[in-house]
Structure 1
Amino acid sequence: MSPIQIYKKEYEAVLLTCFLIKCFHFQVSSSFATGPRQHDGTFYEFRTYTVKPSKMKEFLDLTNKNIHLRTAHSPLVGYWTLELGGLNKTFHIWKYESFAQRTAVRTALANDQAWKEKYLSQMLPMLDKQENEIAYLVPWCELGSSEKDGVYELVTFNMKPGGPAVWGQSFKAAINAHVKTGYTKLIGVFHTEYGNLNRVHVLWWSESPDSRASGRHYAHEDPRVVAAVRESVQFLESQQNCLLVPTAFSPLK
């Protein structure tokens, strides 16, 4: 074989290698990036209200009476009070199909006299603080629901920078390992887009705080869970969880 033929063979091999690397990179990125969810436009707004301690009952009664004025504009996914992991707080999730829809909803609410007079003007003085985040469901998760009443656990993971392309596969394995134990039900895995970045929220449903506690102790002894968590934790900066109790008007019970 001549030097030219050898060079040609080596050049073709390099091109093939580059092509395979690009294909692999594309597969990893497309599997774990939030792109597919962002492309279809659907996102979720997480809102946390800190209520003045003496006003919590009054706040919930007022909201229960007037929440229909708000849900007439966009769908409510769930509405909870924090039982553990924070006091005098409510947490709620709203679904939007696009940022344009959210803008239109905010404009409509600003012009809704019933909403402003019957609810907003009375509710705002009861609050100490409002916080919000925008999040997408990760591509491998669909929003779940509960078949019966229970409690919810919101676990918030602050991940090392790099996004799902870096930690997505091991994180997914850890979530699936917990799902397979059967002690709890996965409602959704959300990756923040606005707010604190490199953050993942995982929402779980359990029959009761006691069933969640006993199931979690069991899971910690499951070698599948231990191995999956050990792999995933290398990408973790910190985590926090809270126990949520659904309100009477929450779609997720």
Structure 2
Amino acid sequence: MILEERDYHIFPGRLGDFLKAYETLGLDIQRRFLGEFIGHFVTETGELNHVVALWRYESMADREARRALMLAHEPWQDYLAAIKGMIQSQQTRLLTPTSLSPMR
């Protein structure tokens, strides 16, 4: 099992637009293609205009196959066009659980 943490820094003043676009255009597509959605979060303190999404995959191969299918899906391209210019920066982390983790 791997956990993908996608970390977005949204331009100030655009967080509401980004969340609305994701809710109406992006999330259903990702749920259809990517599998287990763990959660979607915004920061309350510290770095503002910060969004974190978590997804669970069985393996790197599972992640790669699912993301390839989603990227080829035309409505996903429409979502990407809708959020163009809203994201200041993005980081993606792929996490593997240790033996101490209850999620494996």
TM-score in terms of structure 2 length: 0.90
* RMSD across aligned positions (CA): 1.5
Cα deviation, residue 140, structure 1: 2.2
Distance in 2 of aligned mates of 1:79 and 1:59 = 12
Are 2:4 and 1:49 aligned?
no
User: What is the identity, as a one-letter code, of the residue corresponding to 2:85?
Assistant: P
Are 2:89 and 1:121 aligned?
no
Pairing of 1:67-106 with structure 2 (within 5 A): 67-74=27-34, 75-106=36-67
Distance in 2 of aligned mates of 1:141 and 1:45 = 15
Cα deviation, residue 84, structure 1: 0.8
Partner of 2:21: 62
User: What is the identity, as a one-letter code, of the residue corresponding to 1:47?
Assistant: R
The structure with more radius of gyration: 1
Unaligned runs of 5+ in 1: 1-41, 144-253
Instruction: Give the structure with the larger helix fraction.
Output: 1
3-state SS of 2:94 partner: strand
Cα deviation, residue 51, structure 1: 0.4
Contact kept? 2:29, 2:70, Cα under 8 Å: no
Unaligned runs of 5+ in 2: none
User: What is the identity, as a one-letter code, of the residue corresponding to 2:42?
Assistant: T
String of CA shifts for 1:193-220, please: whole Å, max 9, x gaps. xxxxxxxxxxxxxxxxxxxxxxxxxxxx
- Aligned residue pairs total 102
Cα deviation, residue 115, structure 1: 1.3
String of CA shifts for 1:141-198, please: whole Å, max 9, x gaps. 213xxxxxxxxxxxxxxxxxxxxxxxxxxxxxxxxxxxxxxxxxxxxxxxxxxxxxxx
User: What is the identity, as a one-letter code, of the residue corresponding to 1:57?
Assistant: G
Are 2:90 and 1:142 aligned?
no
Which runs of 4 or more aligned residues in structure 1 lie more than 6 Å from their structure 2 counterparts after TM superposition? none
3-state SS of 2:83 partner: helix
User: What is the identity, as a one-letter code, of the residue corresponding to 2:90?
Assistant: Q
Cα deviation, residue 124, structure 1: 3.0
User: What is the identity, as a one-letter code, of the residue corresponding to 1:68?
Assistant: D
Partner of 1:234: none
Pairing of 1:178-193 with structure 2 (within 5 A): none
Distance in 1 of aligned mates of 2:33 and 2:70 = 8
3-state SS of 1:84 partner: coil
